[in-house]
Amino acid sequence: MSKGDAICIRLGVRGSSLAARDSVREILRDAEGDAPILLDATGLTFISRTAAAELLDAVRRWRAAGRIVEWRYVGDDIAQMFRAVDPSVNIEG
């Protein structure tokens, strides 16, 4: 995915933790449209189950709609919570 045509969403934009559903919805506000999405977890060290579920729901909707979604710099703790919420989640690449 080239940087130029993707929407980059910085999951750590509000700090090192992401806890509530409305926090996730606010961060994803700029993801409207059809462009590919790059989810950048730089600096994110904690995500609650609630926030992880909200984020993964969004990823499922985007992929079901045919959008390309990729991840970047997902730390081990974050990845572990994602997999606890959805063992089938693909966060590679």
Binding-site ranges for other proteins (CB under 8 A):
14-23, 46, 48-51, 53, 57, 77, 80-81, 84-87
When the beta carbons of 16 and 42 are compared against other proteins, the nearer one is 16
When the beta carbons of 22 and 34 are compared against other proteins, the nearer one is 22
CB of 32 to other proteins, least distance (A): 20
**The amino acid at 18:** L
Contacts of 43 (CB under 8 A, 6+ apart): 12, 15, 16
When the beta carbons of 34 and 49 are compared against other proteins, the nearer one is 49
Residue among 58, 9, 14, 11 nearest 38 (CA): 9
- Angle of helix 49-64 relative to helix 76-85, nearest 10 degrees, comes to 70
CB of 68 to other proteins, least distance (A): 24
CB of 79 to other proteins, least distance (A): 11
16 DSSP 8-state letter: S
